[in-house]
Amino acid sequence: MGVRARQWVIAVVGAVLTVAMLWLGLWQMRVFEDKENESAAARAGQAPVPLLDFVSADGTVGDIYGKPASVTGHYLASQQARVTAEDGTVRVLTAFQLADGRVLAVVRGVLPAGVSTIPAPPSGELTQSGIFLPSEAGSGQGDSGTDLGTVRLPVLAQFWPQQLLPGFITLRGPDSEAQGLRMAVVALPTGSGSIQNIGYALQWWVFAAFGAFMTFRFVRALGRDGSLGTLADQEEE
């Protein structure tokens, strides 16, 4: 077999092995993401627990983000905001005051298509439950006390005078529908996947990089050695 043919064989085998190791790394990352999503879904599927058991008076938060929580208080109908997403979906955000005077931001639901007026919240003391989530990310540019791009608690704190809890809840479908709204989609926080799967993914990618490097070295060395051998044969003749 000639030098060029051997170079091609090594290059093809090396490329196949490199691609296989890259794919294995991606597969391990998918396994990690699936485990994270399963963990987040499992947390969201738990029974509601009293929110104030996990959020202390000084704002310290226990292991409650991404879990269903319940809280008792009353809505402040004068403190409401629209949270408009890029796709035009409008979530209704209303202040919910607790017995200790603090306020919890509550996503009551989504305005139905064609509806622009925010339905009044229920009156009187009641218990509400939903997934407790941290403040959402966003630029905050153009946000006001009544119009937001995301649920940004630092922005709300500039317009709502009460002390805010470090998070908000999104009501479940039946509770939203009872208030004349549609269920809001909840973006669950990332769960805890297996660190071992991340390690495997990184390991396969390191192997792939090493394999590509060694394939290049072998092909180059074979070409150099083959050329030298050819010249030596010509000199002997």
pLDDT of residue 160: 93
**In this predicted model, what pLDDT tens digit does every residue of 195-229 receive, in sequence order?**
555 566 677 678 778 778 888 887 777 777 655 44
Q: Is 21 helix (H, G, I), strand (E, B) or coil?
A: helix
pLDDT: is 237 or 95 the higher one?
95
The yes-or-no verdict on residue 6 having pLDDT over 90 is no
Is residue 68 within 8 A of residue 210, CB to CB? The reply is no
* CA angle (115, 158, 48) in 5-degree steps: 65
**In this predicted model, what pLDDT tens digit does every residue of 69-106 receive, in sequence order?**
899 999 999 999 999 988 888 999 999 999 999 999 99
- The residues facing 130 across adjacent strands are 69, 171
Helix (H) / strand (E) element for 144: namely none
**In this predicted model, what pLDDT tens digit does every residue of 146-176 receive, in sequence order?**
888 899 999 999 999 999 999 999 998 889 9
The gap between the terminal CA atoms of the chain, to the nearest Å, is 21
How sure is the predictor about 230, in pLDDT bands with cuts at 50, 70 and 90?
Answer: very low
How sure is the predictor about 55, in pLDDT bands with cuts at 50, 70 and 90?
Answer: confident
- Ramachandran region of residue 109, left (φ > 0), alpha (ψ -120 to 50) or beta? left
**In this predicted model, what pLDDT tens digit does every residue of 14-51 receive, in sequence order?**
788 888 877 777 766 776 665 656 655 666 667 888 99
pLDDT of residue 110: 92
Encoded tokens for 52: 């104030």
pLDDT: is 224 or 118 the higher one?
118
Amino acid occupying residue 50: P
Is residue 170 within 8 A of residue 189, CB to CB? The reply is no
pLDDT of residue 171: 93
The yes-or-no verdict on residue 145 having pLDDT over 80 is no
pLDDT of residue 232: 41
pLDDT of residue 88: 86
Give the C-alpha distances (Å, rounded to integers) separating 101 from 23, 75, 164.
54, 12, 9
Encoded tokens for 80: 């409401």
